Chain A
Amino acid sequence: MYNDLIVEHFTSPSYVGDIDTPDLEYELGNSVCGDRIRIHVKTTDGFITDIAFRAWGCATSVATADIFCNSVKGQSLEDINKRESQNIASMLGELEPSQYHCLDILKELHSSLLSEIMEGEFDG
């Protein structure tokens, strides 16, 4: 039902919280299923130096937010931008059909991060 990776990140998430003065803050929501995730990001010289999330969602979407944060922290925006969608999809491990919506959440977490940055809505 839940793979080990999802269980680990869901039961012991490492990136829960808020950043006092984030360089970027964005929120994803699925009006149909009600999942919501808020991300706070701190960047320095094109690198993600700190990141935190809060979520209202199912176990898999909470794990997805934590896996995303873990995967981008310390990475350059350039490298994150190069990630291919099939690699992003494999980050959650094997999922059941009812968990597939979290693949979309993960892709949107990536695309929103990059689009917000490219739109220059913050000074990083």
Chain B
Amino acid sequence: MDKNLITGYFDYNATTPISESVAEQMMSSLTLFCNASSSNSAAQKGKSLISSARTNVSEMLGCSPEQIFFTSGGSEANNWAIKGCLLPHGASPGHVISTTIEHPSVLSTLEYLANSFGFDITYLNPRQDGAIAIEDVRSALRSDTQLISVMYANNETGVIQPVEEISTLAQDRNIKFHTDCVQIIGKKSINLHKLGADFASFSAHKFYGPKGIGGLYIKSPETLEPLIHGGGQEMGLRAGTENLLAIAGLAQASKDCVEEVTKWDTHYKECKHHLIKRLNASPFNVLFNGSTSPDKCVSNTINFSIDGVRGEALSAFLDKKYGIVVSIGSACSNNKSKKLSHVLKSMGYSDERIQGALRVSFGRYTTKENIDHFVDRLEQCALKLLDVSMMDA
């Protein structure tokens, strides 16, 4: 692992580095030469690896191994849950409830189903704290609602959505409920059995596993249509030769998560508390976007704007001058228009505030010293940009 990169890395919600234990596990699986779907004796090692990985993942998610299906990642899992649930209703498309703050793999899939099949989608806006209100979900319910899809935690603000209440609403009315769990796993312990959701998506590279592997939890696997048809892998629900190397990495990442997520969460809380304290003590007018409350938000994420400073310019400065990596709420697009965060926009913030937004997300390798270094450099860069700025801060 590149320690220099990690020191200035504050974009763990985009992706996490592969941990040492995951790297070791994957290295030891490199020479595993078999097609796990074959019936020869060499395939047995592959079958065992997959089976043990499924158990590890199920322990992490609080469900049975038979309810876990491997995919290429979160986007495929989101596509699968939504299309697999709704396409059987293609001849009589009904109503779907989702939110304006979902990942593009949810929003684009819903748009496709609306345009191609005529499903009627209600997109709920969050309140200014970043959370969807349960009463808004209740008000949106219709007799023909076929699916509710709401993410567990938002990737930009870290705000946790009321998925338990939504799940109860859905179960009471026999409506399918899908939740995108990509951003909650590795930050808080979850239990899908208790939650009662029908489908839940996850992705290994968000919790120190490799890219290109994730999965879908399906409460009742017989109820979901496959997305990828073919050779009968994954109990006939997801075709394609199993990616053993990536599955080995996911298995180890899941095991680590089960054992250490509480410790990570405590560490993130300390880091977050320290970062907020430092930002509040800075000479700037810092505006926090969305809730920062520990019980309403994952503990590794802070989204804020510095009044009078453009986020794109600030992040470029931090990156180019000091190798510090954060995410931004707005970027220039190819057609001379601004590309504003759809999440912050739907929370009702002004364009200027969104153009100033930075998302800082840290992880298990972040130290208090890293945060001090980050804030020191942030102050230097922001002061310089305020000097350039023609806006009143």
- Min distance, Cβ B349 to any Cβ of chain A, angstroms: 14
Residue B387, interface by CB 8 Å: yes
A59 touches B338 (CB 8 A): no
A34 touches B355 (CB 8 A): yes
A13 touches B388 (CB 8 A): yes
Residue A16, interface by CB 8 Å: yes
Residue A93, interface by CB 8 Å: no
- Min distance, Cβ A39 to any Cβ of chain B, angstroms: 11
A62 touches B388 (CB 8 A): yes
> If the complex has contacts A16-B388, A36-B390, A62-B388, are A57 and B313 also in contact, measured as CB distance less than 8 A?
yes
Chain A residues near B387 (CB-CB < 8 A): 16
Residue B164, interface by CB 8 Å: no
Q: Kindly state the separation between the CA atoms of A16 and B385 in the bound complex, as whole angstroms.
A: 10
**Interface set, chain B 115-174, CB cutoff 8 A to A:** none
Q: Kindly state the separation between the CA atoms of A62 and B310 in the bound complex, as whole angstroms.
A: 11
Q: How large is the interface on B (under 10, 10 to 19, 20 to 34, 35 or more residues)?
A: 20 to 34
Residue B264, interface by CB 8 Å: no
Interface of A is mostly: mixed
* Contact bitstring B375-393, A, C-beta under 8 A = 1, else 0: 0000000000001111100
* Contact bitstring A1-32, B, C-beta under 8 A = 1, else 0: 01000010011010010000000000000101
**Interface set, chain B 320-370, CB cutoff 8 A to A:** 320-321, 331-334, 336-338, 351-352, 355
* Contact bitstring A81-104, B, C-beta under 8 A = 1, else 0: 000000000000000011111001
> If the complex has contacts A16-B388, A57-B310, are A10 and B316 also in contact, measured as CB distance less than 8 A?
yes
Residue A118, interface by CB 8 Å: no
* Contact bitstring B26-42, A, C-beta under 8 A = 1, else 0: 00000000000000000
B312 touches A58 (CB 8 A): yes
Chain A residues near B331 (CB-CB < 8 A): 58, 98
Q: Kindly state the separation between the CA atoms of A30 and B355 in the bound complex, as whole angstroms.
A: 14
Contacting B389 at CB < 8 Å: which of A56, A59, A98?
A: A56
A56 touches B320 (CB 8 A): no
> If the complex has contacts A33-B337, A62-B313, are A99 and B332 also in contact, measured as CB distance less than 8 A?
yes
Q: Kindly state the separation between the CA atoms of A10 and B352 in the bound complex, as whole angstroms.
A: 20
B389 touches A54 (CB 8 A): yes
Q: A33-B337, A58-B332, A59-B317 are in contact. List 14 more A-B contacts (CB 8 A).
A: A10-B313, A11-B320, A32-B338, A33-B336, A34-B338, A34-B355, A54-B389, A55-B390, A57-B310, A58-B316, A59-B313, A62-B388, A98-B332, A99-B332
Which B residues lie at the A interface, using CB under 8 A?
Answer: 310, 312-313, 316-317, 320-321, 331-334, 336-338, 351-352, 355, 387-391
Which A residues lie at the B interface, using CB under 8 A?
Answer: 2, 7, 10-11, 13, 16, 30, 32-34, 36-38, 54-60, 62, 97-101, 104
